[in-house]
Amino acid sequence: MSDDARKDTQEQADFRQYCRGWLADNRPPEPTVRLPLSPLEIMTTEQLCYLQDWQQSAYDAGLVGCDYPQEVGGGGCKDCQRVANEEMLRARTPFFPNVIGLGMAAPTVFYHGQEELKQNLLPRLFSGEDIWCQGFSEPGAGSDLANVQTFAERKGDKWVINGHKVWTSLAHFAEWMILLLRTDKSHKYDGLSYFVVPIRAALGDGVTVRPLIKMTGETGFNEVIFDNLEVDDSYRLDELGKGWQVAMTTLLHERGAGELQTPRAGGMKSKATHTTNTANLIELARNSVRDGEPASADPLLRDRIVQQVIREQGLALNQQRARVPALLDHPMRVQLQNKLLMTEISQDTAALALEIEGASASLYLGDDNAPVGGQWPMAYMNSYGMTIAAGTSEVQRNILGERVLGLAKSK
Amino acid sequence: MAKADNFGFGEEAALLKESARKFFTDNFPTDALHALVATDPSPERMSDCAWERDLWQQLVDLGWSMLAVPESAGGVGMPLVAVAGLVEELGRAAFPCPLLGTLNATYVLIACGDGGQAALEEIAAGQAATLAITNHQGDWNVSQTEVSCEDGKLSGSAWFVQDARKTDRLLVSARSPAGLSLYWVATDAPGVSIHADAILDLTRDQAHISFDAVEAEEVTNNALAALEQAMPAIWIILAADIVGAAEWQLQTTVEYASARQQFDHPLGFFQAVKHPLVDVMVQIDQSKSLVYGAACSVDMEPARALQDAHMAKASASETAAFASGRSIQCHGGIGFTWECFVHLYFKRQKHSQMLWGDAGWHRRRLADILIGEVA
């Protein structure tokens, strides 16, 4: 019996067996295009279509949205999404393209949307037919998220939206956006409201999506400009002025600390899996040369590799300890460290990989001689996206210092 | 055997940890520690051996000194993960006593098989013990000793013996005609001389011990195997002690950073103070998870014990240094004084950091395991 299966309930055990069977018979075909490292780097419609087909078939088979009620298009199961995720990881399937929809929009709409809205939106979100994006950050509202200035003005039972969102991943493919905006300029937090907005339908007519190019050369995220976009009041989530509380539901799920488990497929045997963990680092060191010998024989590199292994193991064991209340002094203390640790460890692992590669670290994706296809330099650059997005490492440290250690709130 | 989801840290272990926390909070708050050990600030002082013998006896009566002794020898037979929980609380209190030495001896004796039985029974009867296996260079490699045994009599010296003046028995490694052997010796046996070291740490005592034709009882003639088997547990409990002490350092420093005002704000308002304290917490949590993970390996998956124990002590040694440095620095001027309690833990942590191998020592061995030895 696998480690994952040991603590299954009867429902989970049956479901696991079902998933395993289905995945054995329904592996998606090999892609004809090179897949990106993550859903946030999907650049072409060919890549998108391939991944959407896969999400659709997984949804039809009941592997997506398992724990949501059937009325909103879910599977109506109890704690089965985790099982589906584990089995999809095990089967090394491709990932789902609709990550923001599944991880952030779905739980937010589910907890804060009106019944009819849920029933209309969630099934096509789960199936991947509608891609979602997130309109939170703005040029003047990054770490200080509550400073968003995008404004919705009431006009009968409609709202007229004007403003400027940035770092909007997947906006160029998205049908829908979750949108944090301001409906009252006199209160910073209580002046915020939360909408879902059909941006694709309004392209060129109130909505402009402009791609931003990342330092890696990839696209994937965008600026979105709202110019007198009219939306219906029925697209508002929760009450007027409750936008900040709704946004907290989104962020909690984004950081993996939410109530609902995010549907997650993944572990495609793409080149992406050659980076990010230390087992690959050791392999890389064995295959790299330094002073005429394998880099894995260099005492300084060995020590730094081992330091990374220890941190990685510490993180994995943290996640295990987070479920043992007797070994926790504060219930959220270990969980709230996850994002910070995961992103900083990956960053340092990638940085070390470049040092192990030595001169070859100068070779990028387009070079035939680049070790591991030039993935490590790309992973290193992308790691800064991780330590910045979803609350920078500095913001994470503020959260930990204030919410766990109880230190005075910083400005 | 598959590892348990909860590290095997069950209800009994949780109860033990909780009662240990309460025992030390009730009976031995930090001001009592300071009053007990910080009596003479002179740098050239000879180390006292200040400890609360009566409190130690209470601890023995609670069965805590014989927790790891198997039930077959009259002990409690608790798994290492539970013992680590107790030791974490002991570290938090920085309680001066021979518990760690006694546990160390216990794990080695268990690894000695039948030969260790009689000595284990003595520990179960309340005797405290410590290891005398290190040479004068402080080589943590367990095959090194400067004691030898001829005709059943020990001669030579053992160094860096922990809490020697608080213990009843010594477990001594010595070269014998049969190879490296272990001997069980009473600290007051004729020919045993304990020379106290003048050490930094006020919460422990340490000594070098000379043996002059000391009659000794052989426990095993295969000391190397027994010591190698026991070392992971020994590193893990010291790492647990470090984690507990670091929690004290963090908590105390956070309290100070919340109370002390400068520039019209508590210190913790400033990110230059807040973020390092968060980093201390993160580092403690890494070490803590590694400690319980490694203890679980010793209990349930021995094949991983060595590597996981190296990780735990390597990480804990770094935590000891980092938490200690920040605790003094964030206290500012007062943290640099004798009257402030933080130096007691700073010194205990410095001692623990190097004891049984510092971070580099453990990582070097880990590299050999994980990456392979360099020819």
Q: Does A157 touch chain B (CB under 8 A)?
A: no
Q: Judge: B269–A410 Cβ closer than 8 Å, yes or no.
A: yes
**A11 in a domain, yes or no?**
yes
Question: What dihedral do alpha carbons A46, A47, A50, A56 form, nearest 10°?
Answer: -120
Q: Which of B7, B250, B366 sits opposite A324 (nearest CB)?
A: B7
Cβ <8 Å between A406 and B257: no
- Same domain, residue pair A124 and A142: no
Same domain, A175 and A244: yes
Does the pLDDT at position B313 exceed 70?
A: yes
For residues A144 and A66, membership in a common domain is answered with no
Is residue A274 over pLDDT 90?
Answer: no
> What is the pLDDT, as a whole number, of residue A2?
55
Contacts of A408 in chain B (CB under 8 A): 258, 265-266, 268-269
Last residue of a domain, one of A220, A254, A288: A254
Alpha carbons B213 and A120: distance in angstroms, whole number: 90
B232 or A92, which is more confident: B232
DSSP state letter for B13: H
Residue A261 lies in a domain: no
State whether A394 and B275 contact (CB < 8 Å): yes
* Residue A411 located in a structural domain: no
B241 touches chain A (CB under 8 A): no
- Suggest the residue from B9, B274, B291 to mutate for an interface test with chain A (most A CBs closer than 10 A): B274
pLDDT at A272: 39
One domain, residues A90 and A36 = yes
Answer yes or no: are the C-beta atoms of A184 and A190 closer than 8 Å.
yes
Q: Say if B268 is an interface residue toward chain A (CB within 8 Å).
A: yes
**Is A239 assigned a catalytic role?**
no
Report the alpha-carbon distance of residue A130 to residue A176 in Å, rounded: 7
Question: Rounded mean pLDDT of B64-78?
Answer: 98
Nearest beta carbon to residue B292 from set A305, A313, A321: A321
CA–CA gap between residue B169 and residue B192 (Å, rounded): 11
Considering the domain boundaries, does residue A348 fall inside one?
yes
Q: What is the mean pLDDT of residues B39-57?
A: 92
Which residue, among A337, A215, A343, A349, has the nearest Cα to A276 in the 3D structure?
A: A349
Residue A358 lies in a domain: yes
Alpha helix (H) residue ranges in B260-358 = 271-300, 305-331, 342-354
Contact A306 B370 (CB under 8 A): yes
Residue A337 included in any domain:
yes
Residues A288 and A373 in one domain: yes
**Per-residue pLDDT tens digits for B93-113:** 999 999 999 999 999 999 999
**Cα–chain center distance at A108:** 15
Residue A409 at interface with chain B, using a CB cutoff of 8 Å: yes
Domain end marker among A254, A283, A306: A254
Residues in A 330-369 with any Cβ partner in B closer than 8 A: 333-334, 337, 340-341
Query: How many separate domains does chain A show?
Result: 3
Rounded mean pLDDT of B128-132?
98
Residue A315 falls inside a structural domain: yes
Q: Are residues A312 and A247 in the same domain?
A: no
The confidence score (pLDDT) of residue A5 equals 67
Identify whether A278 is part of a domain.
yes
C-alpha to C-alpha distance for A131 and A134, rounded to whole angstroms = 11
Indicate which CATH number applies to the domain containing A315.
1.20.140.10
Angle at B348 between CA A322 and CA B278, to 5 degrees: 40
User: Which of A317, A333, A404 is the closest to B293 by Cβ?
Assistant: A317
- The torsion region of residue A373 among left (phi > 0), alpha (psi -120 to 50) and beta comes to left
Q: How confident is the model at residue A276 (pLDDT cuts 50, 70, 90)?
A: low
Q: Which residues of A touch B269 (CB under 8 A)?
A: 407-410
Tell me which residue range forms the domain holding A386: 271-404
> pLDDT digit string (tens) for A2-36?
556 667 899 999 999 999 999 999 988 888 888 87
H helix and E strand count, chain A = 12, 10
List of residues 6+ apart from B230 with CB closer than 8 A? B104, B107, B108, B110, B111
Nearest-by-CA chain B residue for A302: B367
**DSSP assigned state of B216:** -
Residue with tokens 């949590």: B285
From the list B2, B5, B18, the residue facing A320 with the nearest CB is: B5
Strand A176-182 and strand A289-290: the pairing is: unpaired
Same domain, A65 and A163: no
CATH number of domain containing A202 = 2.40.110.10
Per annotation, catalytic residue among A138, A218, A254, A312: A254
B370 touches chain A (CB under 8 A): yes
Closest chain B residue by Cα to residue A321: B289
Examine the domain organization and report whether A125 and A143 are in the same domain: no
pLDDT (0 to 100) of residue A268? 43
Domain match, A244 and A156 both:
yes
**pLDDT tens sequence across A226-262:** 999 999 999 999 999 999 999 999 998 887 777 788 8
Q: How large is the average pLDDT for residues A277-305?
A: 94
For an interface test with A, the pick among B363, B364, B365 (most A C-beta atoms closer than 10 Å) comes out as B363
Give the chain A residue nearest B309 (alpha carbons): A310
The reply to whether A216 and A304 lie within a common domain is no
- Closest residue, chain B, to A281 (C-alpha): B371
The pLDDT, as a whole number, for residue A4 is 65
Final residue belonging to a domain, choices A114, A129, A144: A129
Q: Are residues A277 and A394 in the same domain?
A: yes
Pair A275, A394 in one domain: yes
Mean pLDDT of chain A: 92
- pLDDT the model gives residue A271: 37
CATH numbers and ranges of domains, chain B:
11-128 (1.10.540.10), 130-222 (2.40.110.10), 225-370 (1.20.140.10)
Q: What is the CATH number of the domain that holds A91?
A: 1.10.540.10
User: Would you tell me which residues 84-143 of chain B have a C-beta closer than 8 angstroms to some C-beta of chain A?
Assistant: 85
SS3 A195: strand
Alpha-carbon distances, residue A136 vs A104, A148, A166, B62 (angstroms): 12, 8, 8, 57
Q: What is the pLDDT of residue A35?
A: 84
Find the residue in B nearest to A297 (Cα).
Answer: B374
